[in-house]
Structure 1
Amino acid sequence: MRKLIVTEFISVDGIAEVEKLPGVTWSDEMQRFKEDELADSGAMLLGRTTYEIFAGSWPSETGDFAERFNALPKYVASTSRKALDWKPAELLEGQLPEAVSTLKQGSGGNIYVHGSLSVAQELLRHGLVDRVRLLVYPGAVGQGKALFPPGEKVELALISATPFSNGVVALEYVPQMAKA
C-alpha cells in the first residue's frame, strides 16, 4: 500500500505560509532533504491553489530535479477546476477521503502532499496521513495559516530530527491516528 506523506515548510510556531517564513539561505542539506523526498515520490497530491502555483512555475524550470518533479503524476483536489495543463495530472473525483483511500490502495510509489494546507488538514482529520515531514524555519511569525489548526489535537510520534547548519530543522513524524 502506498503511503501518504505531508511535507511542509513551517515556522517554529507552526505557520505554513512560505511567504511569511523567516529568510533562510537554501542549503545543500535542505536540497538533499528534498532530493530524498523526490526519490521516494510516486505521485503528488495537491490542492487547487498549490497546483496553480506549481503549474505556473515548475514547467519552466530546468535540470534533473525539475525534470523528475514535473514528470510525477499529479492528483488535484479541486471543485472549481475543470482542466489541468501541467501533465501528467488528473482531477480527483468524489469526496477527498474516499478518493485518497483509493489512491493509497493503488501502485506507483508514495504520494506526497506539498503545501495544500486544507487538503493536508482534512487528510490528517481522517487518519489518512502516514508521515508528516517538516522543514522548520528558525523563527516565529506570529500569525498566518497553521498546518495544525487551533483547537484540533494531532498526536505525532517523532521518527527523526535533523538540524541543518542554517538553523532549519528537518522533522519527521508518524501521526498516531493514521490508519494502516
Structure 2
Amino acid sequence: MRRLIAWNVMTLDGYFEGPEPWSLDFHSLIFGPEVQALSDAQLRDAGLLLFGRRTFTGMAGYWPTAEDEGDTARQMNSLPKAVISNTLERADWNNSTLLKGDGVELVRGLKAEAGRSIYVFGSAELLGSLLPHGLVDEYRLCIAPVLLGRGNPLFKTADARIGLELREARGCSNGGVLLTYAPRT
C-alpha cells in the first residue's frame, strides 16, 4: 500500500497562499539548504505527484519552462503526475493523468496500488476532502516566519477534530521551521 504525504509551505497564521491566487512570495523566506534537501529527498521518494485542479494548472504552467531550478525542474517534469478534476478536459503536462470521479475513492484506489509514496503539493481543496477519511498518512509543513493577515488557509473548516502526533521538528537557518506530523492512531 502506498503512503500519501502532504507537503506545504504555510505562514505562521495558517495561509498556504496569499490573498490573490498564486501569491506565494513568502516561499522565498524559507527556501535554503534545509528546504532544498527535503525537496530533493521527497522527489526521489515520490512515485506519484497528486494535485487538485487549481494547483495542477499553476504547476503545469510553471515547471515546463522553469529556469534556474536544476534537477528539481527535471524531476517535476518527469515524475508521474495525476490531477483529480471533474472540470478539466485534459492534463497536458508531461507524464500527467486526468482522474475524474469521486476524489476520495480515486485516492483510495491509488493508495491501494503497489509503489512509492504519493505526494500532494498545495491542493488545499483536495486535502480538505481527504482529511476526514483518514487518507493522509503524513503532513510535512514548512512554517514561514511571517504573518500575512489574510489569504487562503491551508486547512479548511472541518466537521471533526483530527488528532496529530509530532514526528519531527527542526529549525531552518533562515527562520523557517520544518514539521512532520502523522495522524494519531
**TM-score, scaled relative to structure 2:** 0.88
Matched AA of 1:11: T
Query: Does the alignment pair 1:85 with 2:92?
Result: yes
1:27-65 Cα offsets, whole Å, 9 max, x none, are 111111111111111111101111111111101236322
- Which consecutive residues of structure 1, in runs of 5 or more, have no partner in the other structure? none
Give the TM-score taking structure 1 as reference length: 0.91
Q: Is 2:83 aligned against 1:76?
A: yes
Corresponding letter in the other structure for 1:163:
G
Unaligned segments of structure 2, at least 5 residues? none
> How many residues align structurally?
177
Q: Does 1:52 align with 2:44?
A: no
Q: Is the 8 A contact 2:49 2:118 kept in 1?
A: yes
Matching residue within 113, 124, 130 for 1:123: 130
Q: Does 1:61 align with 2:81?
A: no
Distance 2:141 2:92 in 1: 29
Match runs of 1:7-26 below 5 Å: 7-17=7-17, 19=23, 22=26, 24=29, 26=31
Q: Which residue of 1 aligns with 2:165?
A: 157
Contact 2:165 2:182 in 1 (8 A): yes
Q: Secondary structure at the match of 1:16?
A: strand
Whichever residue aligns with residue 82 of structure 1, its letter is E
Partner deviation per Cα, 1:84-132 (whole Å, 9 max, x = no partner) = 1102111113211111000001123100000010001111121100000
After TM superposition, give the deviation of residue 20 of structure 1 in Å: 5.6
Identity of matched residues, %: 38
**Could you tell me how far apart the structure 2 residues matched to 1:169 and 1:146 are?**
18
* 1:145 partner letter: N
Q: CA RMSD in A?
A: 1.7
Query: Cα deviations across residues 126-172 of structure 1 (Å, max 9, x unaligned)?
Result: 11000000010012222222122246533211000010010000000
Summarize the Cα distance change of 1:27–1:75 in structure 2 as closer, same or farther, 3 Å threshold. same
The equivalent position to 1:27 in structure 2, one of 26, 32, 36, is 32
Would you say the 8 A contact 1:11–1:21 is kept in 2?
no
